Amino acid sequence: MTEQEVELKALVKDFFEKFLDTWEESDSGREFHPIHISCCRCMKIEPLDKLLTRIRELSEAKTPYELRTYNND
């Protein structure tokens, strides 16, 4: 793997784990993700979801559930 490929993989992993999968709690105690990607084209929602899921897998980023479990230990 080239230096650029290693860096790209690390950046993608950080994108998921440090941004998209961030959890916060409101003053009322409700948990939510403050950062998200949205799509207003219904025909693109499922392909986008599959794409992001595959990118997460390839970068070896933890899932939101794994991050949540890890951070609560």
Global pTM value: 0.73
Residue type, 37: I
Number of domain units in the chain: 1
Q: Which two tokens stand for residue 70?
A: 């890890």
Domain that holds residue 68: 3-72
Which H or E run includes 24?
strand 24-25
Contacts within 8 Å (CB) and 24+ apart, 63-72: 63/21, 64/21, 64/23, 64/33, 67/17, 67/21, 67/23, 68/23
Residue-wise pLDDT tens digits, 10-52: 999 999 999 998 888 899 999 888 998 889 999 999 999 999 9
